[in-house]
Amino acid sequence: MTTFTTGTDTLTRDALAVLQPGFTGTTAPDWIRRRLTEGLASVALFGRNVADPGQVAALTAQLRAERDDLLVAIDEESGDVTRLEVRTGSSFPGSHALGAVDDPALTRQVARELGRRLAECGVNLNWAPSADVNANADNPVIGVRSFGHDTALVARHTAAYVEGLQSTGVAACTKHFPGHGDTSVDSHHALPQIDLDATTLHQRELQPFRAAIEAGTRAVMTAHIRVPVLDPDRPATLSRRILTDLLRGELGYDGLIVTDGMEMGAVADTYGLEHGVVLAIAAGADAICVGGGLSDEGTVQRLQDALVAAVRSGELPEERLADAAARVRSLAEWTTGMRRSPASVGDPAPEIGLAAARRAVTVTRAAGPAPVTGPVYVATFSPAPNIAVGAETPWGVGTELERLLPGTVTGHFTGPDAGAEALRAAGGRRVVAVVRDEHRHAWMGAAVDTLLAVGPDTAVVEMGVPQATPRGALHIATHGAARVCGVAAAEALLAG
């Protein structure tokens, strides 16, 4: 049982309880431990907090020594977005690969194994899955994080993922409500607007969230997007019409509502961080995600003070803040109960991720089998990563081909002269061109054209959303850039 420090009243405890901050380091800083005794009810882990599973387990144990009923959240989508394996790449394919296989039982099994590993590390809230329907091929922030562009497919895999993950006692946080798939703007940098009619919204964007709610998702994450058909003035995270009237009222959702990162440009640059936090709670959000970029005690104090001041000025009803804090504590109680009496999740399935990645690979041959049989030059064409993925997570097939085919050489290229630079570096070797969302990057397509014009035996590996017509002597589509997707692609190249 947590003992709160003397002088910390209900209002300030509630203001602290709704915050979900991050911090720096691989051990718990003193200020976080102190805040846990004052009422902080959840924290967020990022790649900077992770060295290995044993270290994460020690870190969460250190935190729970201060407060046992603690929500420890992480953004572990698997696939391209991983925090537990940020330095090696994920052992599980992402949502798009699972959607390409389209076996909900497999999705459920992968999510269950992921949940088992998170629970072993002491993590009990996962900001996943993405229920976004990837309706816009130019989407710079969702892409392979979505199960696909078909609404029914996304809905059934979202539900399967929620069921598998929560069977381990790890709460799912289905995102990004009311749907981030039909945008060409990254909300980390600016405020996207999705212009669609009410019929499309209900029949496409909202159906996967309905499926998640029916599956019992314990949390839903908001999107920093403006949807004029729902609210012409405010983005979803700050909109009472969207969070209270639609999500709570029309869809009947009664679990925790978590905001996307409040320091993201879509909110912070438009409304200001402190004011944005007050507006989010007033709109119906319960937990404020902050800490991806801001991870200090000063930020937590500023936000706590802003919430208290808003209540005292009448801008934020005290009952709304109390309700939000109660929902945070309620989810923490659920996860604590599950941790103490875990449901049976079956035996560990350590190879399920690689097995799923292998099933997701599609191979197109230009004219008969064209396997890679000797050392090659791997030319990886690297786009700028979005913030959700991060720049530090390795991807590609080079490492695996170097292991399987000694003498293989690798290089990374970007920009308008990438194709010519890769040709010079290859020095006459057969080339394996590795791309990621080629259809979104004209320079990348031009680079592949250059390679194919000189070397028609060039093999192409697409590790993003496959949109371009398959080309090359051998075309491999992995539907994601997780480490296991790279392994599966290398195996497919050798098999031809």
| Chain Cα centroid distance, residue 346 | 26
**How many C-beta neighbours within 10 Å does residue 243 have?**
27
- The rounded distance, in Å, linking the Cα atoms of 179 and 208 is 9
User: What DSSP letter does each residue of 246-304 carry, written as one string?
Assistant: IIIIIS---SEEEPSPTTSHHHHHHH-HHHHHHHHHHHT--BEEE-SS--SHHHHHHHH
In the numeric block, the tokens 């004209």 are attached to: 442
Q: Is the pLDDT reported for residue 431 higher than 70? A: yes
Lowest mean per-residue pLDDT among 15-19, 52-56, 192-196: 192-196
- Which amino acid is located at 419 in the chain? G
Q: How far is CA 287 from CA 31, 120, 137, 308, 324, in A?
A: 20, 24, 31, 15, 7
pLDDT at 37 over 60: yes
pLDDT confidence band for 4 (50 / 70 / 90): very low
Asked if 256 contacts 18 with a C-beta cutoff of 8 angstroms, the reply is: no
Compute the mean pLDDT over every residue in the chain, rounded to the nearest whole number. Answer: 93
Q: Cβ(219)–Cβ(258) under 8 Å? A: yes
Please indicate whether residue 368 or residue 234 has the higher confidence score (pLDDT). 234
Place of tokens 């990645």: 357
What's the average model confidence in pLDDT over 175-194?
Answer: 82
CA dist 76 and 99 (Å) reads 17
pLDDT at 33 over 50: yes
Q: How much is the pLDDT for 3? A: 38
Buried-state track 80-99, b at ≥16 Cβ within 10 A, e below 16: bbbbbbbeebbbbbbbbbbb
Distance (Å, rounded) from C-alpha 267 to C-alpha 235? 8
pLDDT band at 437 (very low <50, low <70, confident <90, very high): very high
- Is the pLDDT at 267 greater than 90, yes or no? no
Q: Which of 111-125, 184-198, 331-345 has the highest mean pLDDT?
A: 111-125
User: What H or E segment, with its residue span, contains residue 327?
Assistant: helix 318-340
Task: Please give the radius of gyration of the chain, using alpha carbons only, rounded to the nearest integer.
Answer: 23
The phi and psi torsions of 468 (rounded to 5 degrees) equal -70, 155
Q: Is the pLDDT of residue 186 over 80?
A: no
C-alpha angle 42-85-87 in degrees, rounded to nearest 5: 120
Query: C-alpha 301: how far from its chain's center?
Result: 27
pLDDT score, position 6: 34
Query: Pseudo-torsion of CA 162, 168, 171, 175, nearest 10°?
Result: -30
pLDDT value of residue 229: 95
Dihedral over Cα of 30, 265, 414, 458: its sign = positive
Give backbone dihedrals phi and psi of 250, rounded to 5 degrees, phi first: -70, -45
Please determine, for residue 1, whether its predicted confidence score (pLDDT) is greater than 60: no
Per DSSP bridges, beta strands 219-222 and 171-177 are parallel
Over 90: is that where the pLDDT of 294 sits? Answer: no
pLDDT reading at 419 higher than 70? yes
Per-residue pLDDT at 5 exceeds 70: no
Identify whether 188 is a catalytic site residue. yes
**If you average pLDDT over each of 133-147, 293-307, 351-365, which comes out highest?**
351-365
Distance CA 429, CA 374 (A): 10
Q: Is there a catalytic annotation at residue 195?
A: no
pLDDT higher than 80, residue 310: yes
How much is the pLDDT for 7? Answer: 37
Provide CB contacts within 8 A for 232, sequence distance 6+.
226
Could you tell me where the DSSP H helices lie in 52-206?
53-64, 95-101, 104-120, 151-166, 198-200
Query: Given this model, what pLDDT does residue 386 score?
Result: 74
C-alpha 433/C-alpha 423 separation (Å) is 11
Sign of torsion over alpha carbons 468, 366, 96, 156: positive
User: Which of 188, 224, 441, 475 is an active site residue?
Assistant: 188
Q: What percent of the chain has pLDDT over 70?
A: 96
- Cα torsion at 158, 161, 167, 170 (round to 10°)? -90
Distance CA 399, CA 412 (A): 12
Residue 345 has pLDDT above 80, yes or no: no
Per-residue pLDDT tens digits for 372-400: 889 999 999 998 877 778 778 999 999 99
Q: What is the crossing angle of helices 104-120 and 151-166, to 10°?
A: 40
Q: What is the pLDDT of residue 111?
A: 98
Q: Which of 14, 75, 80, 260 is catalytic?
A: 260
